């Protein structure tokens, strides 16, 4: 079982220290979330129904976060890569459809190259309509836009030169060098049917958000159905889940469900992060 560290509840001032200590303790990866801006009025956070690429039926008002620190996600991970040698760097999830695909493709190519092949590309459609409005991007088309971005990025990362003519983006032939390593995998995040279809069409992996051992089996069954419709199976995917574990038996239970990587928060608060990580690693048997 691979263990990743979520930075979602960690102050950026501790990112570097936690990454270095995580590598020393034997954690496999660190995962940083992504936003361009936090508008003063965030609107609501959707808890998706059948299609998270459209506004959900159930929307919960989100507290304002406009004054919280934000950084360019892949740039910050490049900085962390320069201080480490083995730990991997992932995004859950990068809003690829908010960027032109040339920009998104270059960002992850750079991370992968400077880290020596340690990039994990986690992408998603996004939920914050006001963020899309601030960037001048139509929120209603974010699903189709993301699908087109994925297709373009995959070509840029593998083909000698690429020309593209699509619904949202068009450009004449361009070169794109150097190519990222084959180890750079594309993980699709999301819980909706649209996200599952996207995993089945394009994904090397799936990122499940905030699951328990009890909630995950039903979602994996949905994923299996989407994969079957696309002529694929879960054997072809790396399953990463944001969850929790307190003892070695918990890791065994996640693995028995088919989880390859557990992304967790191994600390209670920023101020005690290092001590908590060490206690967690001892209790879970990390490195044994």
Which fold does the domain 2-284 belong to in CATH? TIM Barrel (3.20.20)
Residues of the chain whose pLDDT is less than 70?
Answer: 42-65, 287-288
pLDDT at 61: 52
pLDDT at 44: 59
pLDDT at 74: 98
Handedness of CA 100, 101, 104, 106 (dihedral sign): negative
Listed by start position, the domains of the chain span 2-284
């Amino acid at each position: 079982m691979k263990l990743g560290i979520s930075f979602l509840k960690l102050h950026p001032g501790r990112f570097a220290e936690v990454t270095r200590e995580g590598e020393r303790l034997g954690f496999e990866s660190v995962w940083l979330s992504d936003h361009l801006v936090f508008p003063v009025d965030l609107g609501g956070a959707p808890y998706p129904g059948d299609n998270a690429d459209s506004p959900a039926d159930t929307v919960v008002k989100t507290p304002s976060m406009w004054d919280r620190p934000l950084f360019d996600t892949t740039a910050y991970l490049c900085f962390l890569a320069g201080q480490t040698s083995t730990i991997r760097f992932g995004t859950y999830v990068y809003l690829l459809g908010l960027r032109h695909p040339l920009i998104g493709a270059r960002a992850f190519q750079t991370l992968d190259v400077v880290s020596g092949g340690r990039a994990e590309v986690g992408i998603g459609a996004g939920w914050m309509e006001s963020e899309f409005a601030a960037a001048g991007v139509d929120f209603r088309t974010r699903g189709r836009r993301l699908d087109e971005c994925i297709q373009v990025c995959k070509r840029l990362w593998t083909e000698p030169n690429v020309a593209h003519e699509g619904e949202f983006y068009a450009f004449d032939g361009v070169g794109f060098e150097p190519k990222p390593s084959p180890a750079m995998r594309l993980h699709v995040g999301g819980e909706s049917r649209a996200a599952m279809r996207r995993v089945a069409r394009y994904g090397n992996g799936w990122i499940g958000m905030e699951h328990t051992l009890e909630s995950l089996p039903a979602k994996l069954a949905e994923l299996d159905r989407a994969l079957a419709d696309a002529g694929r199976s879960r054997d072809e995917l790396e399953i990463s889940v944001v969850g929790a574990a307190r003892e070695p038996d918990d890791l065994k239970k996640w693995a028995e469900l088919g989880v390859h990587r557990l992304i967790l928060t191994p600390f209670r608060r920023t101020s005690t992060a290092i001590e908590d990580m060490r206690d967690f690693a001892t209790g879970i048997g990390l490195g044994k």
